[in-house]
């Protein structure tokens, strides 16, 4: 049994292992990471912290907070992968501690520990918390606002009351939501306020002890929420930058961001990111919250039974605060899931801000089970035996998941992706943990079985994040391609034919204009003796034939997924035949480009 005074240390260490291990090893991957980081490099080069640009064009997809985090990381670790990801990793570690605090105050010390560990060691925390994207700051600020709400509504005994204990907590909540708006836009304010409003109305509706009639009681509860004060504070935090970028771009940034990347993404799928309104996010949660999702269904039933029970029917001396805490978590979860399930565009990271509620609900279930309570099965004839069966089913799911993971990786390695063979043994960890948890439960050592789950979660997620992302990262080829050129081409020497991957823009640390015809390619290569042309291998057949005198293929790479890339440059460095992919070297320091 871990003493409560060490719970924060345990959560912080687990989060640091997941988030910091080999943080800068994998190349920037997907579209968003290198695009955000390249935008930050451009801001650093121009000395401009207001207007975000990517590859020479205005970038309207995201506000600038993520770029400010990158600039701070670049100051500490250089313009590298570590520098780009460091801010996300630090903020996510703090987020896990905030989740621990919320659960500790609402559900008890044991639930706080389990909730903090669940948040720190689930799959999507490792994905989002190690990414150079706006998701980590959004989750941090929204979770911070949730903590401000909990602390600002706590009364004597720990129960969440009908209004703020002090206007200062409302202001703190608004300031946190202002940070969320700077991270991701209006959703950072609108969805948390929706959750707080639903919870407040639910509490007021169910307040049978109040002498005030129900309708006036509901109105008084909404007024007591101080929504204008929260919104005004959030606006005061976010408005200066939004005003500056609107003025500097003549309104172009604000128009593109609000109407295309907010309203447009909600109304219809963009970039092929769609899915079922009812099935998409449940499937995402099953994977993203793994391995803690093995008890997710039972945890939701547990929370529903707890909030639906009368205070006298709920076990434990802290039943009333726990009921209110579970209500708040269910409202938080429902707000994020409901809004993004209704949206046309769907991505797994959109609902990551709901994970703190999932972690707290799961922490309360597992802490209750560890203490011998059986809330979620109290309607059964033999509630204790039923809950024991639920946990044995969970261990079985964990074992099968580990077995399936190992088999899938082995088959993929034998089917043409040999890099995945190194990951196959990871499946043995959840299998061993499931067996240990089953045995420990049989011996009556419930706390030890939960410890086996937590340790396996930390190991599996850390290895998948630190090793797996390095093996399958799609931008490794782009990094090798640029590193293989040796000396960095002079500013303005680059152009692209076909698609221009954002990862190449970041690693080249230059603007790469896109050419659309063989004539434009010939003009670019003939304009200067040091010209470089990045070519999507699918368009290689459309290159001028023969190439201008003195030019040839000087580098070629084939990523694990997607089309190959090649670089046309001065023929003194040409390679023929194309070289095989070389071992990935560490990223060299990229000094700022000279002014153009």
Mark whether 208 and 260 lie in a shared domain: yes
Mark whether 329 and 364 lie in a shared domain: yes
* Model confidence pLDDT, tens digit, residues 429-466: 999 999 999 999 999 999 999 999 999 999 999 999 99
Mark whether 371 and 296 lie in a shared domain: yes
Mark whether 467 and 505 lie in a shared domain: no
Q: Find the distance separating the first CA and the last CA of the chain, reported in whole Å.
A: 62
Residue 583 resides in a domain: no
Mark whether 401 and 366 lie in a shared domain: no
Structure confidence at residue 311 (pLDDT): 54
For 56, which DSSP code? T
Q: What are phi and psi of 310, to 5 degrees?
A: -70, 150
User: Cα 139 to chain center, whole Å?
Assistant: 8
Residue 584 resides in a domain: no
Residue 509 resides in a domain: yes
Mark whether 34 and 83 lie in a shared domain: yes
Structure confidence at residue 408 (pLDDT): 92
Mark whether 79 and 220 lie in a shared domain: yes
- Angle at CA of residue 116, ends 325 and 298, nearest 5°: 60
State the Cα–Cα distance between residues 179 and 194, nearest whole angstrom.
17
* Model confidence pLDDT, tens digit, residues 1-32: 789 999 999 999 999 999 999 999 999 987 89
The beta-strand segments (E) located in 317-459 are none
Residue 588 resides in a domain: no
Mark whether 451 and 480 lie in a shared domain: no
State the Cα–Cα distance between residues 161 and 263, nearest whole angstrom.
35
Residue 337 resides in a domain: yes
Residue 579 resides in a domain: no
Mark whether 127 and 148 lie in a shared domain: yes
CA nearest to 41, candidates 587, 501, 401, 508: 508
**DSSP string over 158-184:** S-B-SS-S-HHHHHHHHHHHHHHHHHH
State which of 432, 453, 472 marks the end of a domain. Answer: 472
SS3 at position 263 = helix
For 379, which DSSP code? T
Ordered per-residue pLDDT tens for the chain, 596 residues: 789 999 999 999 999 999 999 999 999 987 899 999 999 999 999 999 999 999 999 999 999 999 999 999 999 999 999 999 999 999 999 999 999 999 999 999 999 999 999 999 999 999 999 999 999 999 999 999 999 999 999 887 777 877 898 999 999 999 999 999 999 999 999 999 999 999 999 999 888 777 888 899 899 999 999 999 999 999 999 999 999 999 999 999 999 999 999 999 999 998 888 999 899 999 999 999 999 999 999 999 999 988 886 554 444 445 678 899 999 999 999 999 999 999 999 999 999 999 999 999 999 999 999 988 866 666 677 777 888 999 999 999 999 999 999 999 999 888 877 878 888 999 999 999 999 999 999 999 999 999 999 999 999 999 999 988 877 665 678 888 888 887 778 888 999 998 899 999 999 999 999 999 999 999 999 888 899 999 999 999 999 988 888 899 999 988 877 788 999 999 765 554 443 344 443 333 333 343 33
State which of 379, 400, 425 marks the end of a domain. Answer: 379
State which of 421, 454, 472 marks the end of a domain. Answer: 472
Structure confidence at residue 317 (pLDDT): 41
Structure confidence at residue 578 (pLDDT): 40
Tokens matching residue 155: 């009364």
Structure confidence at residue 486 (pLDDT): 74
What pTM did the predictor assign? Answer: 0.92
Domain count, the chain: 3
State the Cα–Cα distance between residues 56 and 106, nearest whole angstrom.
49
Range of the domain at 531: 476-573
């Amino acid at each position: 049994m871990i003493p409560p005074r060490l719970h924060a240390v345990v959560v912080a260490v687990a989060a640091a292992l997941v988030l910091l291990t080999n943080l800068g090893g994998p190349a920037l991957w997907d579209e968003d990471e290198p695009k955000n980081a390249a935008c930050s490099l451009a801001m650093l080069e121009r000395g401009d912290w207001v207007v975000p640009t990517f590859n020479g064009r205005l970038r309207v997809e995201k506000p600038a907070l993520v770029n400010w985090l990158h600039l701070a990381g670049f100051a500490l670790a250089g313009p590298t992968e570590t520098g780009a990801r460091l801010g996300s990793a630090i903020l996510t570690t703090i987020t896990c501690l905030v989740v621990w605090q919320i659960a500790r105050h609402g559900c008890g010390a044991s639930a706080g520990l389990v909730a903090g560990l669940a948040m720190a060691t689930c799959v999507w925390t490792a994905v989002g918390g190690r990414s150079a994207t706006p998701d980590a700051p959004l989750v941090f600020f929204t979770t911070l606002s949730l903590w401000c709400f909990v602390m600002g509504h706590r009364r004597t005994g720990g129960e969440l009351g009908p209004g703020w204990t002090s206007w200062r907590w409302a202001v703190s909540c608004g300031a946190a939501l202002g940070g969320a708006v700077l991270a991701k836009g209006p959703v950072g304010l609108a969805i948390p306020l929706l959750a707080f409003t639903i919870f407040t109305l639910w509490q007021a509706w169910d307040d049978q002890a109040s002498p005030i009639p129900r309708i006036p009681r509901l109105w008084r509860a909404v007024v007591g929420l101080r929504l204008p004060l929260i919104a005004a504070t959030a606006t005061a935090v976010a408005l200066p930058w939004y005003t500056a970028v609107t003025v500097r771009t003549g309104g172009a940034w604000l128009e593109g961001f609000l109407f295309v990347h907010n309203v447009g993404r909600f109304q219809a799928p963009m970039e092929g990111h769609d899915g079922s309104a009812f099935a998409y996010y449940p499937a995402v949660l099953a994977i993203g919250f793994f391995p803690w999702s093995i008890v997710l269904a039972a945890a939701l039933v547990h929370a529903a039974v707890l909030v639906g029970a009368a205070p006298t029917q709920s076990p434990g001396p802290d039943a009333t605060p726990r009921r209110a805490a579970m209500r708040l978590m269910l409202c938080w979860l429902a707000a994020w899931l409901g809004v993004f399930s209704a949206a046309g565009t769907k991505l797994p990271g959109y609902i990551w801000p709901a994970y703190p509620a999932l972690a707290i609900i799961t922490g309360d279930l597992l802490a209750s089970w560890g203490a011998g309570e059986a809330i979620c099965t109290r309607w059964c004839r033999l509630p204790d035996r039923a809950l024991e069966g639920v946990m044995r089913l969970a261990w079985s799911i964990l074992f099968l998941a580990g077995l399936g993971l190992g088999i899938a990786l082995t088959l993929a390695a034998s089917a043409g992706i040999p890099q995945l063979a190194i990951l196959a043994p990871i499946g043995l960890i959840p299998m061993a943990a499931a067996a240990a948890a089953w045995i420990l439960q049989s011996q009556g050592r419930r706390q030890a079985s939960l410890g086996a789950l937590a340790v396996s979660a930390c190991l599996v997620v850390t290895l998948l994040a630190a090793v797996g992302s390095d093996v399958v990262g799609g931008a490794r080829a782009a990094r090798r391609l640029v590193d293989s050129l040796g000396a960095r081409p002079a500013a303005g020497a680059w152009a692209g034919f076909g698609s221009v991957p954002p990862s190449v823009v970041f690693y080249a640390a230059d603007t790469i204009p896109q050419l659309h015809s063989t004539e434009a390619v010939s003009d670019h290569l003939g304009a200067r003796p040091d010209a470089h042309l990045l070519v999507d291998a699918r368009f290689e057949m459309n290159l001028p034939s023969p190439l201008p005198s003195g030019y040839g293929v000087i580098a070629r790479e084939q990523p694990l997924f997607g089309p190959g890339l090649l670089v046309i440059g001065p023929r003194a460095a040409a390679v023929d035949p194309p070289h095989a992919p070389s071992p990935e070297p560490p990223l060299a320091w990229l000094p700022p480009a000279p002014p153009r």
